[in-house]
Amino acid sequence: MFVSILMAVGLVAAATVLVRAHRRTWKAIQSADVPPERRQFGQRQFRRRTTASTLMGLIGVAVLASPIMHNPNLARYWLYWAGLLILVMSMSLLALVDAVDTLRYFRTVHSSLLAKHTSDSSNSDDLPSSGAY
């Protein structure tokens, strides 16, 4: 019982720290001079990560409520575990969506930087060579 309480408090504390960190990051993006694509990505990322962190906190609260499941009726028992499973699956789905969106965004950034580099390289071919290296 002590371990489950410790784990639950740890989950709630971690969720609180993460939500605060996500808010700080989002405020930094809002106040920075960034391209609109970066701002949109940051907003989507903030929503996903804040929601996932909040779900983590709810899972911690649900684990804290687990002692009431020692003598539950069958319906309450299944409702508790179904709710906990839905929370964990939702958090996992958000993590997967976040990973895919992050990968997609940074592939786009990489492609645009590569195109810029290629363009800069082809423009440097037009410059006269001094002959010295």
Q: Is residue 133 part of a domain?
A: no
Q: Is residue 92 part of a domain?
A: yes
Instruction: Specify the pLDDT at position 50.
Output: 97
Examine the pLDDT at 131 and tell me if it is beyond 80. no
Q: Is residue 121 part of a domain?
A: no
The DSSP 8-state label assigned to residue 33 in this structure reads: -
- Per-residue pLDDT of 66-118, as tens digits, reads 877 677 788 888 888 899 999 999 999 999 999 999 999 999 999 989 988 88
Length of the chain: 133
Q: Is residue 119 part of a domain?
A: no
Q: Is residue 67 part of a domain?
A: yes
Instruction: Specify the pLDDT at position 128.
Output: 55
User: 132: left (phi > 0), else alpha (psi -120 to 50), else beta?
Assistant: beta
Block residue for tokens 């969506």: 97
Taking the C-alpha atoms of residue 17 and residue 2, their distance in angstroms, rounded to an integer, is 22
Burial 53-77 (b: 16+ CB within 10 A, else e): bbbbbbbbebbbeeeeeeeeeeeee
Instruction: Specify the pLDDT at position 85.
Output: 96
Number of domains in the chain: 1
Q: Is residue 11 part of a domain?
A: yes
Q: Is residue 32 part of a domain?
A: yes
Residue-averaged pLDDT of the chain: 89
- H or E stretch at 104: helix 74-124
Average pLDDT of span 57-73: 84
Both tokens assigned to 94: 């958000």
Contacting residues for 61 by C-beta, under 8 A, at least 6 apart? 8, 12
Instruction: Specify the pLDDT at position 130.
Output: 56
Instruction: Specify the pLDDT at position 2.
Output: 86
Give residue 99's domain range.
Answer: 2-109
The pLDDT confidence band at residue 65, using thresholds 50, 70 and 90, is confident
Q: Is residue 128 part of a domain?
A: no
Q: What angle do CA 66, 67, 68 make, to 5 degrees?
A: 90
Identify residue 34 by its one-letter amino acid code.
V
